[in-house]
Amino acid sequence: MTGELSPIDKAKFVAAKRSVDYVEDGMRVGLGTGSTAAWMVRCLGELVREDGLKIRGVPTSTRTAELAREVGIEVISLDEARWIDVTIDGADEFDGNLNLIKGGGGALLQEKIVATASDQMIVIADVGKEVEKLGAFPLPVEVIPFGWQTTKSLIEELLISMDVLGRDATLRMNGDSAFITDEGNYILDLHLGRIGNAHQLAMVLNQMPGVVENGLFIDICDVVILGYGDGRVETRDINEGTVEEDRLDFVETDNLFTDLQD
């Protein structure tokens, strides 16, 4: 199956495959949302079914919960878990300090809650997600529907005083209607181009009434696992200050990723 993958999907696959090495029997595992995280969930499911790995997964979205159950992972809520051993998730962007932009899949609120309730957060990504400065990817901000246009105007006004290149905010759509998060909220995508001070922006956005959470994950990620289309994997641990390189061989599997959707 992997022989049929595009280089970008091979990169996602090897990063996901390497990340499950961090999962041990009996762990409570935060399960991220998005295309790269979905590969990881499938890899974990294979270990559960074929190797007898015993874990409990805390999903960060309804679609991740559905996929986890489909591949045989026991799903529990964060309230049931109380605390999580490790969370594995993707990212839309990350910088040299392992700060992230997340929320392209619309699950940033649950993703941030689960990640901050974990002993360790591991991000899996293809090499194209690394940037010198965050902001090329639109920054998602989850807002309540009530008065969202006023919130949008206030955010755009706020951005005038921030170190960013762009200040446009757009309502995320799902066809002809507003995209609705699992919590029933809207998402505003901020087209900033470049974020000069991500710490400051994250703080001031969350102080605004109407804003539920933003997609800047600051000082949360511990490890980034980068996948390459030729099977190479690079693991960066910001706490240990280490960078390790490896290569994974592509092995034909029994339709491990059949019907996998982004």
* CATH entry, 2-129+219-247, from 3.40.50.150, 1.20.120.1770, 3.40.50.1360, 3.50.50.60: 3.40.50.1360
- Residue 92 annotated as binding? yes
201: which strand partners? Answer: none
* 152 annotated as ligand-binding: no
What are 144-169's pLDDT values in tens digits?
999 999 999 999 999 999 999 999 99
Q: Are 108 and 186 in contact (CB under 8 A)?
A: no
pLDDT band at 4 (very low <50, low <70, confident <90, very high): confident
Of the candidates 196, 201, 199, 125, the residue with the CA atom closest to the CA atom of residue 169: 201
Residue 262 confidence (pLDDT): 39
Confirm or deny that 182 is annotated as ligand binding.
no
Look at residues 142, 164, 167, 145 and name the one whose alpha carbon lies nearest to residue 155: 167
pLDDT in tens, 71-104: 999 999 999 999 999 999 999 999 999 999 999 9
Please, what is the average pLDDT of the chain?
94
User: Structure pTM?
Assistant: 0.93
Contacting residues for 228 by C-beta, under 8 A, at least 6 apart: 11, 14, 126, 127, 234
pLDDT at 3: 53
Task: State both tokens at 89.
Answer: 């998730």
Half-sphere exposure of 32 (CA within 13 A, CB side): 33
- The pLDDT, as a whole number, for residue 259 is 45
User: Which residues carry out catalysis?
Assistant: 111
Backbone phi and psi for residue 79, each to the nearest 5 degrees, phi listed first: -65, -35
CA dihedral sign of residues 69, 73, 74, 77: negative
pLDDT interval class at 260 (50, 70, 90): very low
Which pLDDT score is estimated for 249?
79
Q: Confirm whether residue 196 is marked as ligand binding.
A: no
Q: What is the pLDDT of residues 199-257, one digit of tens each?
A: 999 999 999 999 999 999 999 999 999 999 999 999 999 999 999 999 987 654 545 54
Write down the domain spans for the chain.
2-129+219-247, 139-214
139-214: CATH superfamily: ACT domain (3.30.70.260)
Q: Which pLDDT does position 183 carry in this prediction? A: 97
Backbone angles phi, psi at 237, to 5 degrees: -110, 110
Q: What is the b/e burial string over 196-205, where b = at least 16 CB atoms within 10 angstroms of the residue's CB?
A: eebeebbebb
Angle 35-51/62-70 helices, nearest 10 degrees?
30
Q: What's the chain look like in SS3?
A: CHHHCCHHHHHHHHHHHHHHHHCCCCCEEEECCCHHHHHHHHHHHHHHHHHCCCCEEEECCHHHHHHHHHCCCEECCHHHHCCEEEEEECCCEECCCCCEECCCCCCHHHHHHHHHCEEEEEEEEEHHHECCCCCCCCEEEEECCCCHHHHHHHHHHHHCCCCECCCEEEECEECCEECCCCCCCEEEEEECCCECCHHHHHHHHHCCCCEEEECEECCCCCEEEEECCCCEEEEEECCCCEEEEEECCCCCCCCCCCCCCC
103 marked as part of a ligand binding site: yes
- Whole-number Cα distances in Å, 63 to 28, 49, 162, 192: 19, 20, 35, 29
Among positive and negative, which fits the CA dihedral 71, 232, 94, 8? negative
Distance linking the first and last C-alpha atoms of the chain = 17
